[in-house]
């Protein structure tokens, strides 16, 4: 069991190694840009700026925490315990994540306030890098992509963190700007992080490896597909079996391996409150998405492959008993820092 509740109850203003790390990343990115312009070699370049926040621990700078003191936050769907999604996989996750007893409204509010403070701090760091790009005269000739690796549940369905296939966790921001992209447009084409590889490669007039998934975002905007899918899978902590998701942008099919699937209409039900799986009027849609999922992956084979890899990794660290005796940590340390283990057992 992961002691998530203790982490949630400690949410608030302050400083963290994560916030300090992001400040250094922004400074180093700006220095890199300055050096690159000073060289004036005319070669194309790519700079990947990876911030870690917002991320647990839920700590935000005091001034941003104060900024959100009296501001409203979007209500997390199914926040109340009586409204929680009762899917067996989610019940197991709540138990293993120490979230089976709900937080109070004030505790959820404080967590959201700290999280929002961390988001604003991220915005500030991104702004510093973009301002430097503009001041160095690179803005008009540089394509910029902003995205994240996951979202945050914020109390939705009684959950905090990522881990699920619902929009608050699996849905991510995806913003592109620059000379190769249209201005002020919103596209409903389903895309995912795998589309970054061919986008970056073609930016340098190179051909991407055809065996690697993904499509150049510029190509998608020029020639939209009539039907395109975004896919995700999860094999990590809190779920005994794999979870897979596929969406065509409107409908989403969630495959819980060895448990009942879920089907949602994201257009009519953006908060994913009404599971349509098993309803006769959606049988054709469910069948299409299920077949599309199985065309991409064999859930049984991939689940077994992931479990075998996890078992091998566990064995490489001395086996289950040795790992349990070592203890655990809630959050990955920043690069260069050692994890602090606690709660070991014999």
Instruction: Bin 317: left if φ > 0, else alpha if -120 < ψ < 50, else beta.
Output: alpha
Fold of 229-297: Arylsulfatase, C-terminal domain (3.30.1120)
Residue in the structure block whose two tokens are 């990876």: 50
Q: Helices 17-39 and 105-135 sit at what angle, rounded to 10 degrees?
A: 10
Contacting residues for 165 by C-beta, under 8 A, at least 6 apart: 232, 234, 243, 244, 245, 252, 254
List the chain domain ranges. Answer: 1-187, 229-297
Contacting residues for 42 by C-beta, under 8 A, at least 6 apart: none
Q: How far is it, in rounded angstroms, from Cα 323 to Cα 211?
A: 37
Is residue 7 within 8 A of residue 59, CB to CB? The reply is no
Tokens of 100: 């089976």
User: Rounded to 5 degrees, what angle do the CA atoms 191, 197, 199 make?
Assistant: 70
Backbone phi, psi, residue 271, to 5°:
-90, 0
Q: What is the DSSP string of 185-251?
A: --------GGGHHHHHHHHTT-PPPTTS----HHHHHHS--SS--EEEEE-STT-SS-EEEEE-SSE
Q: Do domains 1-187 and 229-297 have the same CATH topology?
A: no
Cα torsion 283, 190, 118, 3: sign: positive
Q: Which CATH superfamily is 1-187 part of?
A: Alkaline Phosphatase, subunit A (3.40.720.10)
> pLDDT tens, position by position, for the chain (346 residues)?
567 788 899 999 999 999 999 999 999 999 999 998 888 777 889 999 999 999 888 999 999 999 999 999 999 999 999 999 999 999 999 998 889 899 999 999 999 999 999 999 999 999 999 999 999 999 999 999 999 999 999 999 999 999 999 999 999 999 999 999 999 999 999 999 999 999 999 999 999 999 999 999 999 999 887 899 999 999 998 888 999 999 999 999 999 999 999 999 999 999 999 999 999 999 999 999 999 999 999 999 999 999 999 999 999 999 989 988 888 777 788 888 887 777 665 4
Is residue 152 within 8 A of residue 54, CB to CB? The reply is yes
Q: Which SS3 state, helix, strand or coil, does residue 145 take?
A: strand
Q: Which SS3 state, helix, strand or coil, does residue 271 take?
A: coil
């Amino acid at each position: 069991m992961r002691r998530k509740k203790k982490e949630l109850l400690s949410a608030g203003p302050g400083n963290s190694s994560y916030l300090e790390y992001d400040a250094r990343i922004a400074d180093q990115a700006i220095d890199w840009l300055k050096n690159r312009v000073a060289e004036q070699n005319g070669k194309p370049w790519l700079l990947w700026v990876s911030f870690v926040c917002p991320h647990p621990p839920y700590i935000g700078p005091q001034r941003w925490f104060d900024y959100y003191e009296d501001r409203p936050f979007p209500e997390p769907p199914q926040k109340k315990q009586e409204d929680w999604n009762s899917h067996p996989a989610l019940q197991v996750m709540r138990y293993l994540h120490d979230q089976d007893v709900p937080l109070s409204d004030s505790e959820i509010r404080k967590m959201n306030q700290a999280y929002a403070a961390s988001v604003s701090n991220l915005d500030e760091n991104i702004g510093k890098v973009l301002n430097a790009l503009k001041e160095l005269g690179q803005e008009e000739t540089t394509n910029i992509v902003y995205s994240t690796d996951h979202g945050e549940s914020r109390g939705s369905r009684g959950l905090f963190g990522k881990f699920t296939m619902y929009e608050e966790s699996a849905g991510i921001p995806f913003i592109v700007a620059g000379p190769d992209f249209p201005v002020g447009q919103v596209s409903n084409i389903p895309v995912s992080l795998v589309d970054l590889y061919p986008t970056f490669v073609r930016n340098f007039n190179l051909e991407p490896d055809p065996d690697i998934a993904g499509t150049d975002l510029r190509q998608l905007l020029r020639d939209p597909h009539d039907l395109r899918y975004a896919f995700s899978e999860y094999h990590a902590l809190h779920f005994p079996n794999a979870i897979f998701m596929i969406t065509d942008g409107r409908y989403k099919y969630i495959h819980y391996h060895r448990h009942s699937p879920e089907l949602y209409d994201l257009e009519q039900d953006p908060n994913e409150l009404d599971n349509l799986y098993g309803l006769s009027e959606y049988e054709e849609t469910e069948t299409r998405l299920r077949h599309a999922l199985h065309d991409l992956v064999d859930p049984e084979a991939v689940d077994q492959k992931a479990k075998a890899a996890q078992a091998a990794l566990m064995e490489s660290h001395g086996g289950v008993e040795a790992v349990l005796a070592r203890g655990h940590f809630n959050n990955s340390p920043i690069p260069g820092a050692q994890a602090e283990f606690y709660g070991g057992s014999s």
